[in-house]
Amino acid sequence: MAAMGRRKKDSDQAGPGAGEENEPNNRKRALIFCILAMPALIGFYALVLYWSNPRTPGEELRIDEFATLLRQGRIQETKILETDSRMIGNYDGGEYWVAYSADNETIFARLTSALEDAGVPYSVQQQPLKNLVTPVSLLLPALIVINGLFILFLALGRGGDGFTAFGKTRGKRAESGDAKITFSDVAGLDEAMEELVEVRDYLASPDRFSAMGASVPKGILLTGPPGCGKTLLARGLAGESDVPFFSISGSDFVEIFVGVGAARIRDFFKVAKAAAPCIVFIDELDAVGRGRSTHSMGGTDEREATLNQLLVEMDGFESGSGVVVLAATNRPDILDSALMRPGRFDRRVAIERPDVNGREAILGIHTRGKPTADNVDTSQVAKRTAGFSGADLANVVNEAALLAARRGATVIEQHHFTEAIERLMVGPERKSRILSPQDRHRIAYHEAGHAVVATSLPGTDRVGKLSIVARGHAGGFTWWINDGDQLSVTRSQLLDRIAALMGGRAAEELATGEMSSGAMSDLDSAMLLAQRMVTEFGMSARLGPFSVKPLQNAAMKEGMLAQGFSERIASEIDREVQDVLTEAADRARDVLVSQRSVLDAVAQALMETETLEGEVLDALLLPVTKPGATPAQVGI
């Protein structure tokens, strides 16, 4: 008995593992059985069709011929085959058979009446086996189709899920220690990292928080521009946490078939609750959490059903404890309000582009393990990359490494980083593009105009480099260097920046007497700044402190587009923007006229050397005088 008990206990302990190991074998055996059954079903169906086809000996007679023979008394006997719809028998010429339509009762009645009038004996032969042909001929094709679907799902279905594979979750599970990225690989996101460290510590030692009556947030939403490290933070939490970590994309829940998205949500949280305490990460939450509208049709109903199921799973009657939901999106403005309330996402962590210290720390991580020269100063690279995200900085380091390898260098030097930044901001050099003397003269004055106007006005950034070497789609470029990160800009600074953008166009007009299409990108940038000043920043004398951005949230909730302002306001905006641009162009022209000697010197040096930077450029721009601060109300 003891031995039997031990064997039973051992089998119970090995049961789940053995079942999981046998599952692929069972799937393989089922696939082989379905494949072997397919030719058998097809063969049996062909045999049934062959057997159901009527086969009778003798000569075929038409109905009129059969009626004539009856009148002549030449028919000796007749037998009616019920299922085959035929009459067979003998006449003075041998055996015969006549086909008639079983659906036409008139013909059948006329034939039987003719037999009775002629006094020919006849009988009806029943065919019970052939009565099964019709249901079998309908059943066998259905079985063949079903068997083919089983073969398809067994061969291509995920893990043998078969028909239920559509409703199964596509989430990936990472056990403790599986992830290769930890918080030590994340930089520039110290505040956001503290929020996630708290979740990690709570799941590792919940008693310490429970003693204070604290509970971990049910949901944490990471928001910010693309490439700033939202997914990287989640991967770092997966590497740091001692609990199972599930990750999935919001688009994995979306499906064209009705009910599939909600089924995947249920299955995903069912698996997560079984492994609680755990962390689930939903990337690109806006794919499934977009706000609901009152005008839902077609596929929108399926998306809203998926969202409703997500709302229930996160905070409903059956919501379980121990599951922390971590989500990331760069479109928090379009998420449904029910999804954003406390109890579902209790905490929102805003992740912005890193500042200069954050960029330097990120560069330090990406240059780790790469052969860099001793003269590489990551702080200078960080200052030159204002506004870059973490993904952009990773691209800068990788591009610098590619440049060093392409040119046969053994280490990555400072100039490789500088050129990598230029390539990413403007484009690669087009040295094969040969400029005509007229274009060379015009582009040199264009870039020199930017530099002189920017140096003259106090609200602009410092000019770090000028070049007339074509890069990307640009014939030349002016590189402004930010002295530091700014959280906000004043109205006078924006007006100075717009004037600096107009400096190239004004310099071309002064030097050549006419304008060219080369200032197209400058006009686009200047117009965008002017529009934002008037419509978003409230820097307008006519409109005052009034924001006229389109009503995006209201439009989505109502399922329609909304401009957010009247035609009169739109006309005022156009007049304001036009006034700002015109005044900026006049200011740029006035500066260049007063500094014409410096403009000519910079343009001449640029035509000779093609590139100006560093001390040489600073010396050329040193004579530029600053007229003073921008007036409080210019052109408005």
Q: Which residues of 55-70 are buried (b: 16+ CB within 10 A; e: fewer)?
A: ebeeeebebeebbebb
What stretch of H or E contains 326? strand 323-329
> What's the length of the chain?
636
The partner residues of 90 in beta bridges, in order of sequence, read 77, 95
Helix 596-609 / helix 567-594 crossing angle, nearest 10 deg: 80
Half-sphere exposure (CA, 13 Å, Cβ side) for 191? 10
293, with CB counted inside 10 A (0-12, 13-18, 19+), is: middle
Half-sphere exposure (CA, 13 Å, Cβ side) for 477? 20
3-state helix, strand, coil split of the chain in percent (to 5) is 55, 10, 30
DSSP 8-class letter at 324: E
Cβ(122)–Cβ(80) below 8 Å: yes
Question: Cα separation of 145 and 23, whole Å?
Answer: 25
**CA 336, 337, 341: angle at the middle one, nearest 5?**
125
Neighbours of 490 (CB within 10 A): 13
How far is the first Cα of the chain from the last one, in angstroms, to the nearest whole number?
A: 100
Neighbours of 519 (CB within 10 A): 21
Question: Diameter of the chain by CA atoms?
Answer: 134
Cβ(100)–Cβ(112) below 8 Å: no
Residues with a catalytic annotation lie at 447
Structure tokens at 515: 């304008």
Our separate counts of H helices and E strands in the chain read 22, 14
